Amino acid sequence: MPRWRALSSSDQPLGPTQRWRLDIAYDGAAFSGFAYQPQFTTVIGVLRSTLASTLHLEKEPTLVGAGRTDAGVHAFAQVVHVDLPTTLFKNQRGPDPQRLARSLNKQLRGRVRILRAMPVGDDFHARFSATWREYRYLVLETTPPALALSNAWSWAVQGPLDIAAMNGAASECLGTHDFRAFCRRPTNAPAGEPLRRLVLSAHWERLADTFSLSPANDVVLRLDIRAQSFCHNMVRCLVSSMVAVGQGKIAENTVKERLSSLERDHLPPPAPAAGLSLVGVGYSEFAGGPSSFVR
């Protein structure tokens, strides 16, 4: 492991810092969510402790993410920022992003993967500098019972599904709407406060199983949805309603009607977390450009 200069308690909080952007990926099944919770294993908690141990910091640093993912939700291109003391690089010609990424990945042992590490300006903010986020949801169109393995990466539902009707419902989400019917309100938010979000794109696609991952020739349906930001459980609530549309259990105009009425009563519960992945976060080129998984 590279030798990083250890910091004393006196110079750590007071010395100059360099802000770093880290693009990361993780399997959400291993974590109790993204946000730091001392009593649980979370993505931020593992990153904090790994940074502290790898870089010989006496205190765990504070990390800020582009957005929070729930327990069980995966990420292929999440972004966080962290301020690291410049004294770590005192004996180097300057910050070495590849060296930092290698050192962290060695200690993380695959729990979280550092895709990219780069120094950025102090005005970069993983959350507030982001211009969009993109999520992907996978639905396995199958005949129950589904193989248990599929539940680790998708939501197995009984087909056939009417993908044209599902795309009709998805199109109703485009633009700015109050998504109160499809979000879980934060505990500290007033009951009547709107939850307005701008959705930039939303589209379902039926995919061939080119890798023969399904022993029963099941079909995968993929939703890609991009928005300026999302409220809590928004994608999973939309997915469950769109799947119900595809199964003919609720009318195709249900999403449009509930965006207008703001009522959630009698809608399906949120889709399972395992089918959901954060696949991209948008930034300007001055901030390093978007995270890299979006295709």
Model confidence pLDDT, tens digit, residues 10-50: 334 447 899 999 999 999 999 999 999 999 999 999 999 99
> For the chain, what are the domain ranges?
17-129, 132-280
What pLDDT band is residue 187 in, cutting at 50, 70 and 90?
confident
**What number does CATH give the domain 132-280?**
3.30.70.660
Hey, do 17-129 and 132-280 end up sharing a CATH topology, with the first three levels equal?
yes
Count each helix (H run) and each strand (E run) in the chain, helices first.
5, 10
Dist CA 295 CA 284 (whole Å) = 17
Highest mean pLDDT: which of 148-162, 257-271, 280-294? 257-271
70 catalytic per annotation: yes
pLDDT mean across residues, the chain: 88
AA identity, residue 141: E
| Spatial CA neighbour of 254 closest among 169, 145, 163 | 169
> Which residues are bridge partners to 17 per DSSP?
85
The answer to whether residues 38 and 32 touch, using CB atoms and an 8 Å cutoff, is no
Domain 17-129 has CATH 3.30.70.580: yes
Q: Active site residue: 11, 23, 27, 70, which one?
A: 70
Q: Rounded to the nearest 10 degrees, how much is the dihedral formed by the CA atoms of 207, 211, 214, 218?
A: 20
Digit-coded pLDDT (tens) for 167-177? 999 999 999 99
DSSP state of 247: T
* Confidence at residue 183, expressed as pLDDT on a 0 to 100 scale: 93
